[in-house]
Structure 1
Amino acid sequence: LPWPAQAKDHDAIFKDRCCFHRSNTEETLAWSDSVDTLLANKDGLEAFRKFLKSEFSEENVEFWLACEDFKKTTSSTKIAAKAQKIYADFIEPDAPKEINIDFHTRNHISQNISEPT
């Protein structure tokens, strides 16, 4: 079959099976430039989340997003609250979305959580 017919057949067969909305080819190719480019694109972020979920490591991108949001925070009361939430969600032992970090890093964070900056 010529390429356009194959593409139409492929789209018809797989239209309901795609796990995320597809960006145009140019945007999708740009994801390979850097992780920042991938994560800055809504579709790229969604595709990466789906991949991490399939690898049982979705908490890593969720942690990164929480940290990026934290870095934009200027209110000292919000800084403290967000730091505590990140700690409770990702850092403390047996956290619901515990990330894989070494003992020394976890210990250092635990000692400094009372005065986040």
Structure 2
Amino acid sequence: MNSLQTLEPAVDATCCVPSAEPALSAEEAQQRAQVFKALADPSRLRLLSIVKAGESGEACVCDLTEPLGLGQPTVSHHLKILVEAGLLHREKRGTWAYYSLVPGALEQAAGLLATL
């Protein structure tokens, strides 16, 4: 006769105690992920650096293609992602778009992991 032994999981009362800290909501996680995705590309990091280093604190899209060695459509795509992530502000002037850092955006991005 073959005897099968049923194993019961060990129960540890401390393993299921809910955390006192509230978990990140799905919307908060999505917003943070959008910022991290925007920052995860070397070209976008360089764009932020170039805009930040500009004398007037802004840069025209026409001045951003050459330093990156990328075409205008590609640079515009990267800039759109940075704007959507809340890192850059876009202002249209005539036929050109000018980009500037959103005040406090880099500091806020730096603190995103610390507030998990």
Instruction: Give TM-score scaled by structure 1 length.
Output: 0.29
Indicate the structure with greater helix content. 1
**Max radius of gyration: which structure?**
2
Greater relative CO, 1 or 2 (CA 8 Å, sep 6+): 2
